[in-house]
Amino acid sequence: MADGTKAVVGTSVTDDETAPATTAGETPANEPTAESAAEATAPLSAAEIAAELTGRTPKSGPADEAVPADDEAEDEPAAQPAADIAEEEPEFDPAATLDQPTGELPLLRPAPDRHSGDRIADRYRLEECTTQSEFFSSWRAVDEKLRRAVGVHLLAAGHQRARGVLAAAKSAALLGDPRFVQVLDAVQEGDHVYVIREWLPGAADLAQLLADGPLEPYDAYQMVRQVSEAIAAAHKRGQAHLRLTPRCVLRTESGQYRINGIAVDAALRGLPADDAALTDTRAIGALLYAALTHRWPYPEDRYDLQGLPKSLGCVPPDQVRAGVHKGLAEIAARALCEQPPHHQDPITTPEELARAIALMPKIRQPEPPAYTPPPRPQPRPQPQQPRPQIRLADGPATVVTSTAPARPSRPRLRRLIRVTASLVALAAIGVASWQLVSTLNKTERNSEDGQVQPPPSQGGSATPVAPAGKPVAIAGVVSFNPLGDGPEHAGETQLAYDGDLATSWQTSGYNQDLGGAYKAGTGLLVDLGSVQQVGSVQVQFAGTTKVELRAAPAGSTPETSKAGLESLGTAVATQTGSTVELKPGSALSTRYLLLWLTGLPKDGSDNQYRGKIAEVKVTS
């Protein structure tokens, strides 16, 4: 947190309706991650233009109405220079904006003027501008304290939307669901409001995944299932996205989908929250439609996808492209169309959508193509030696009488037998040596692969040794503090599994140790990306710590609340120490593991009780 008026909030998203800005006269390089720059060709929706032109909440209307780019350029406030607007405004007092009535704040205060290399809060160094709109900018930046990439939104503190952006960021930070890109910080500092969010290097957004064509049925099923379940869980907690686009849905390297920009994306653009459930449901339907058909289900072209002719109306996906999965096509039409075909009932809430997807037959991952060994090479024919021709003499043939060779004497026969026996013995020794070397090489190769081959036994009845546990990749970690007042150091959770023992995630400081009537515990919720077999969990603490290992039932996602803590059940393993290995007493299959700290060491720097987790490793 930086000094100044602060709120424990944060988020950030990439914009899909404005072009990437140039910085200091240079064109920024393409972003190396999946969170691509703004969608330069996408026209604004009617609701978004209304939000830009008026200080009132835009009236709800068809979010899919296209506005030609030329009209957009003529109508936007850019026609009135920002400098002239600033001259007409009274002198700005940043300290009063959070308490000033929203109606008294100027709507058109331009975005802060920042450049690559500038530093925010003496911590975040701006690297590349990914979005430059009239009123805010988005950046890829570096957190110099934690040495990692982050996303940053910048907004003028005097803008009418500044307070709404801070409130949206705070609510997003408290969501604590690993399926959403995490909010790290949001602060008003001087005349700026900035929002910091998690950055996902190596992830690809849905627009990029569709660059080469529609998704396979299994991939489309996984995308819509994960997104609908996450949005439904957010709605249960009073959260809505309100601007869910292909740029906001990111697939990580582990194959899991994460959602970017919940609440904050809409707040930055002043979009209304009218009928939030229907808005998000229609958005998920559009994502599935695009994934199945490689077409955008509205008249305009967006996200490098061609739109549908307006005369078609809401046509089912299987009528746009041949071979579309029938079950997914019906789900997309029911979520997107007000009057679905075949007199089906429309789906109007994310919870209904998630339930409908859960009831349809599961789509299995296609089997990899069977391995076909290459054809064996045909033996090359051996050249034949010409048979010698016997030339006959011209004269009469001389008859030669053949006589049988003389039988060898007995001493010579004995020598021949000894030589033959020696050759046989040498051949046997050579074969045995070859077999021994081959066995040793095979054992060495298996050892490098993590497999141990049992030594050959005399009787052939030795029990095979079980393969050692293999590492299980961690997809994400979030602070789990249902008994406190929100996440603890949410921006540092990835330090618990970054492979560096010198860095660690830590709890807040407590005046007394956990346990009893004070506070039962706090900890980290570890996401394995999918249901995995868990054999052990190794944890490296800084100081002696008491920890419990709990696990969510397979197929369930725990909430970061008291109810979520209860759903995790009792501990499957408990230990105390600075380096512990937690082993479940029986076979364990789960996606979510909870490291629940119930006893903390005292920190000598301030005499408070504080837990620190330097590294977490999971093996099967």
529-553 tens-digit pLDDT: 899 999 999 999 999 999 999 999 8
The β-bridge partners of 251 are 204, 257
At 68, give phi and psi (nearest 5°): -55, 150
The domain made up of 6-198 has a fold known as Phosphorylase Kinase; domain 1 (3.30.200)
For the chain, what's the residue count? 620
pLDDT of residue 570: 84
Report the half-sphere exposure of 179 (CA within 13 A, side-chain side).
21
564-601 CB burial, b ≥16 within 10 A, e <16: bbebbeebbbebeeeebebbbeeebebbbbbbbbbbbb
pLDDT of 563 reads 76
**Contact (Cβ atoms closer than 8 angstroms) between residue 28 and residue 211:** no
Instruction: Please name the CATH architecture into which domain 471-619 falls.
Output: Sandwich (2.60)
- Give start-end residues of each CATH 3.30.200.20 domain in the chain: 6-198
Q: Which candidate, 181, 135, 129, places its Cα nearest to that of 152? A: 129
- The CB-based long-range contact list for 511-517 (8 Å cut-off, 24+ gap) reads 511/608, 511/609, 512/609, 513/599, 513/600, 513/602, 513/609, 514/597, 514/598, 514/599, 514/600, 514/609, 515/598, 515/599
Is 7 exposed, middle or buried, given 0-12, 13-18 or 19+ CB atoms closer than 10 A?
middle
- Contact between 443 and 453 under an 8 Å Cβ cutoff? The reply is yes
Hey, which bits of 199-271 come out as E strands?
204-205, 249-251, 257-259
What is the predicted pLDDT for the residue at 152?
A: 95
CATH class, domain 211-245+274-359, is mainly alpha
Angle at 250 between CA 248 and CA 255, to 5 degrees: 160
Query: At 518, which amino acid appears?
Result: Y
Cβ–Cβ under 8 Å, residues 613 and 501? no
pLDDT of amino acid 373: 62
pTM of the model: 0.55
pLDDT less than 70: residues of the chain: 1-108, 368-416, 419, 424, 430-468
Q: What is the pLDDT of residue 419?
A: 65
Delimiting residues of CATH 1.10.510.10 domain(s) in the chain: 211-245+274-359
Under DSSP, the state recorded for 44 is P
Question: In the structure encoding, which two tokens stand for residue 442, read together?
Answer: 């095979």
